[in-house]
Each structure stands twice: as C-alpha cells, then as structure tokens.
Amino acid sequence: MEKTISEKIISRHSGRDAGAGDIVVVNIDVVMAQDGTGPLAVSQIEKMEFDKIKNSSKSIFFIDHAAPSPKKELSNTHKVLREFSKKTGAAISEVGKGVCHQILIESYTCPGDIVIGADSHTCTSGALGAFATGMGSTDIAVGFVLAKTWLMVPETVKVNFNGKLNSGVYAKDLIIYLISKITSDGATYKAIEFAGEASDGFSMDDRFTISNMAVEAGAKTGIFNSDEVTRKYLKKQGRENCYREVTADGGAKYENVVDIDCCSIEPMVSRPHTVDNAVPISKLDKTKIDQVFIGTCTNGRLSDLKIAADILKGREVASSVRLIVAPASRNVFVKALDEGIIKTLVESGAAILPPGCGPCVGVHQGVLGDDEVCLSTQNRNFKGRMGNPNSFIYLSSPAAAAWSAVKGYIADPREVLSK
Amino acid sequence: MTDFSVEKKILKGKSFKFGDDISTDLIAPGRYFHLRSNMGELAKHVLEDADPEFAKKIKSGGFVVGGKNFGLGSSREHAPTIIKIAGAGAVLAKSFARIFFRNCINVGLPALICDTDKIGEGDLLEINLGEGTIKNITKNLEISFSPLPEVMVKILGDGGLAEHVRKNRGFNL
C-alpha cells in the first residue's frame, strides 16, 4: 500500500502495515510534559502503581509555563517535578531554558520519530518530519512508564503551498490564512502534510511556525517531509546523525488536498476570540492596542526576533503600548544577544522576559487589564487566554507585531518594509 | 449495541447549554493555573467565563451540552476532570476537539456526539449509555449518539486509562 508520512511512521512504530482508520499500539521515541500538565502525569503514574519510567533519556519534564514561579502553589508543583525527575532519572528542563517545543526541536526530536507531549502544541516537532501530537496527562503518564501509546491512524489532508510569498508576508500569515480557510475544526482527527514548491524553500523556523499551529485547525499533527533544510538544521546542532529521510509515497491516499497560492496572501490577523476569525491586515481599521507580545513556541525564534529588531531599529515603541519579548529558548536568547538583536529591542522600549511561555498562558508576565487589547505572535486568542476574559487578543506575524508596537495600532508591516 | 460498564448505564438530568467552540480556556481558565494541583478548588471555576453561575447550577447533576468543536485548545486534562468533579454526568456535543475527547474517556467522563440542536436549555434528558440513545423527556424526542470506538469502550469500562493500565500492567486493547 502506498502511504502518507503518518502511515509510514506509524507502521514502523507498530510493526504493522497500518493505514488510515486502523487502531494500533505504537512505540514512542520522545515523551514530555510541562509544569501545567506534568504534576498530574506524576500523580497518575503513582496511581497506576509504577515507580520507573521506560526511557529516561527521552522522557522530559519542562518548567516553562509558569517560570519563574509567580505563586507558592506553582513553586510546589515545580518541586513535584524535580523530585520525580531525581527519583526516576527523567530529564528536567529548568526555569530559563525555554519553551518545551523549542527544546524538543533543538535537542530531542529526530525525523521519523513519534513524539507525544502533554501540550497541544507538541505538533511543532512535525516540522522535522516527526509524527508529533499532544495528549492529556494520563496518556502521557502511560507514555512515560510504557514508552507506548495507542493511536488511531489519521487520514491526511495535504496542503500544497504554491508560488512565492510577497515581501512582508511570512509563514505565520500563511498558517493563519489556511486556518481561516479550513476553520478551527477543519482538520480534526486528521494529520496535515505540508508540501508544495514554496514549502521546499521554507526555513526550519518557517516550518516550525506552520506545524505549531496545525492543532488550531484541530489536526492531530502537522508534518513536513525531511530534506536538505532539515539535515542542515540538525547538523548545526550537532545532531546530523539522527537525520532520516521521511517522505510520503507518490500514490499515497489523501482525504483532501488544499492548494494555496502564496502570491495571493497578504499579512493576516486573527481577531478575538478564535484563530479562524482572521482577515487581511489591510481590512482592519487602525485597531488600538495596549500590549504587544513577541515570543512563544510559534514565533519566539531567532529569525522572528531579528525581523522585529530590523523594524524597531532606530524607532521607539509608542508611548501607549507595552512591548514584551520572550525568546523561545536560552539558545535563541544567547544568539540574539550575540547579534545585537536584544540591544535593539531594549533600546526601542521592549521589556525582555526570560525564555519560556511568557504571558501566552495567562498565568503571569503580562496579564491583560479589563478591555485591554493585545497583539501577539502566539498561536491562540481564545477568550481569557491571557488571564482576563474581559480582554481582546489579536494574532499576527512578528513583523506586524513590531510595526504595530511603533504605530500604537494594528498596522501593515508592508508600510515599513517597502521603504 | 455497545456495552458500557460505567457505574450507571442510565443517566438522568437537566441540560446546560453552551455554544460552539467552547475552549479549554473557558472550561479551566489559565488564571487559575495555580489551582491545578487542587482539582476540587479548580472545579468551583469550571466554565466560569462562559457562565459565571455554572459551577453552582451543576452541583446537583446534569449534562454539559455544547455545539461544534467542544473542548478545542489546550491538552489540559483538568478540563474534563473538573466538569466531572463539578457534577456533570456526561458532555454532549455536535463534535469534539480531538485531545479533549480522548481526555474525557481517559478520565471516565462520557463524551457523546449527537445533534444537540434537539436539546434546549434546561431540558430533562435520560441517557442510555448501553443502548446509545438519549431521550429528551421535555421535548418528547429520541436522539441517537455515535458509538465510541471499541478501544475507548474498553478504557471507559475499566474506569479510565490509569485504571486500565494499572490492572493490565500495560495496554490490553
């Protein structure tokens, strides 16, 4: 049988000739939880009466969602993770190291892997050609102790990105456009395979942004095939030996094929309170903003910070706006320091947070006030997401976020990039 | 027909209606992140941003009835767990987000896919999990729901995934 990427990876991990609709038990390569979901996973492991984990070198707990801890209750849950890690040998990624998904792609995920994580944006690793998907704490607890999970092999939607992106238009705009087109449940239970001539030219950072948001269309995972770009990315991290070729068969069956003409896409903005409530930025009428956040597992990588810094260089953030920036990881932070990016951002008026999830989860570091409006580079804008149900979140690319921070309202980055 | 070995095969109670796209941020808001280690406390805030009085209303039982794509968003298992702890016997929706649906089964909360347009706020429902039917007593209507995949029936029958794995020392699906 000719197979999709997901069918191939799942077949290899289940020892069966698996096709869409089959239910299989698979071996997993990487399993992780974060500080919001990890403590429950730990208590479920105890409830299941297991005291060992199966594969400690690729079992990781991340302290990133509320890091450093803003409350004693959270400090105590962090202690639970540290103690469990000490007891079992599970890796722990401490305060300041970065967002779980970023650390996975920097250090753990290999092409062809199955990655499961107690965080919905685990699909980010799909950009490396892995079958990566989010689950709840109990599924992850089982993953920790058995290094296995059960899966229904998903049908696949193939998305072809054709043509070239215009100046001022980025991977973030593409994925927001796609979600607005297929809607927030357009790919529920399905895998998305990203392909097309444009996607061959995407950098790894572009691919991570796109895979990261696959779940915003309901997808189980969002996968790219591996190629030279993947190999070079792994080589840069000293992980070239884990490169594997991951591609779909020519005759693979797709549930649906969506063709996107990149040339026709404008910078996009998701409006409150769903990601698929999106419009081209030019359709918005100078929407005033109180806060801009640049960071997260979606857009907190080096190229994102550089795009923002290039726009902010020699300019000042509007006096009515707070600009908050969080590098996605310590590696990103160090490189951004080396390249002078952080200096530029700080000089323009940005407040820099430690690597981590920052205000995206609504716990700390930039909770919105009543009626306040935030433009963020994160992946989600649900009501209450940033800690206050009486606030409003718009989503955009880092370029639009940076230029809007200067203007004080949601503004089209092509105004500054075409100069 | 599918045989659920959950505690009660027939559930009876009032419907509490919600709209489309009820996210896990609405069910278990991020601002109560610090209460995740205290599920009873967190349950007092269940669905608070969609209906501030809901936690009080559901105390004496009933069903959460949503529209399409119920439970979209984060993987937080706390969302279905606190719906269950707060007193709901099941969640009914036209469709569910994938992770939320899986979490419901794992924590032993029946998640039923059915035509919720046939249910109004406050309607009295009788759900027969074994037969796969919902009787809307108020409207005198019979509504069917899609059967669960066999693996999920097994997990639900064992009282959730943790209990399934504890008993079997692995998967027995």
In sequence order, what DSSP letters do the residues of A59-95 get, joined into one string?
EEEE--TT-S-SSHHHHHHHHHHHHHHHHH--EEE-T
CB of B5 closer than 8 Å to CB of B24: no
C-beta atoms of B165 and A146 within 8 A: yes
List CB contacts of A74: < 8 A, sequence separation 6 or more.
Answer: A35, A66, A363, B33, B34
First to last CA, chain B: 18
Nearest to A62 by CA among A19, A21, A31, A23: A31
Is domain A269-417 in CATH 3.30.499.10, yes or no? Answer: yes
Nearest CA in chain A to B149: A23
Res A144 pLDDT > 90: yes
In tens, the pLDDT along A6-49 reads 999 999 999 999 999 999 999 999 999 999 999 999 999 999 99
In tens, the pLDDT along A344-403 reads 999 999 999 999 999 999 999 999 999 999 999 999 999 999 999 999 999 999 999 999
The predicted model gives A49-61 an average pLDDT of 95
Query: Best mutation site among B165, B166, B168 for testing chain A: the one with the most A CBs within 10 Å?
Result: B165
C-beta atoms of B73 and A135 within 8 A: no
Q: Complex ipTM, two decimals?
A: 0.96
Each domain of chain B, given as residue ranges in start order, spans 12-124
pLDDT bracket for residue A267 (50, 70, 90): very high
Res B135 pLDDT > 70: yes
* Cα A91 from Cα A94, distance rounded (Å): 10
Query: Best mutation site among B70, B72, B171 for testing chain A: the one with the most A CBs within 10 Å?
Result: B72
Res A85 pLDDT > 70: yes
Cis amide linkage into residue A267, ω under 30° from 0: no
Res A106 pLDDT > 90: yes
C-beta atoms of B102 and A66 within 8 A: no
Q: Give the CATH H-level superfamily of domain A13-261.
A: Aconitase, domain 3 (3.30.499.10)
Per-residue pLDDT, B8:
55
Nearest to A30 by CA among A127, A94, A112: A112
How many other CB atoms are there within 10 angstroms of residue A130's CB atom? 32
The predicted model gives B100-112 an average pLDDT of 96
The predicted model gives A266-283 an average pLDDT of 98
Per-residue pLDDT, A419:
59
List CB contacts of A163: < 8 A, sequence separation 6 or more.
Answer: A197, A198, A261, A262, A263, A264
The predicted model gives A103-122 an average pLDDT of 98
Architecture of domain B12-124: Alpha-Beta Barrel (3.20)
CB of A300 closer than 8 Å to CB of A332: yes
The nearest CA of chain A is from the CA of B14 a distance in Å of 26
pLDDT bracket for residue B4 (50, 70, 90): very low
Res B58 pLDDT > 50: yes
CB of B62 closer than 8 Å to CB of B15: yes
Nearest to A356 by CA among A33, A97, A119: A97
What percentage of chain A reaches a pLDDT higher than 90? 99
Res A343 pLDDT > 80: yes
C-beta atoms of B49 and A389 within 8 A: yes
- Which residue from A142, A185, A383 is facing B26, i.e. has the nearest CB? A383
C-beta atoms of B72 and A184 within 8 A: yes
The verdict on A145 touching B (C-beta cutoff 8 Å) is yes
3-state helix, strand, coil in chain A (%, to 5): 40, 20, 40
Res A287 pLDDT > 80: yes
Res B95 pLDDT > 60: yes
Contact list, B111 vs chain A (CB under 8 Å): none
CB contacts < 8 Å between A and B, how many? Answer: 144
* Cα B113 from Cα B99, distance rounded (Å): 15
Taking an 8 Å Cβ-Cβ cutoff, which residues of chain B contact chain A?
21, 23, 25-26, 29-31, 33-38, 49, 68-69, 72-78, 95, 97-99, 102-103, 106-107, 149-151, 160-162, 165-166, 170-171, 173
C-beta atoms of B102 and A136 within 8 A: yes
Eight-state DSSP code of residue A273: T
Res B1 pLDDT > 50: no
Residue A131 phi/psi, 5° resolution?
-90, 100
What percentage of chain B reaches a pLDDT higher than 90? 87
- Which residue from B35, B98, B162 is facing A138, i.e. has the nearest CB? B162
Per-residue pLDDT, B128:
93
Res B6 pLDDT > 80: no
Nearest to A37 by CA among A61, A55, A57: A61
**What is the DSSP pairing of strand A148-152 with strand A23-27?**
antiparallel
Contact list, A137 vs chain B (CB under 8 Å): 75, 77
The verdict on A387 touching B (C-beta cutoff 8 Å) is yes
Nearest CA in chain A to B79: A136
Record the tokens describing residue A7, joined without a space: 């069918």
Res B7 pLDDT > 60: no
C-beta atoms of A184 and B171 within 8 A: no
* Cα B170 from Cα B173, distance rounded (Å): 9
Per-residue pLDDT, B3:
38
* Cα A363 from Cα A294, distance rounded (Å): 17
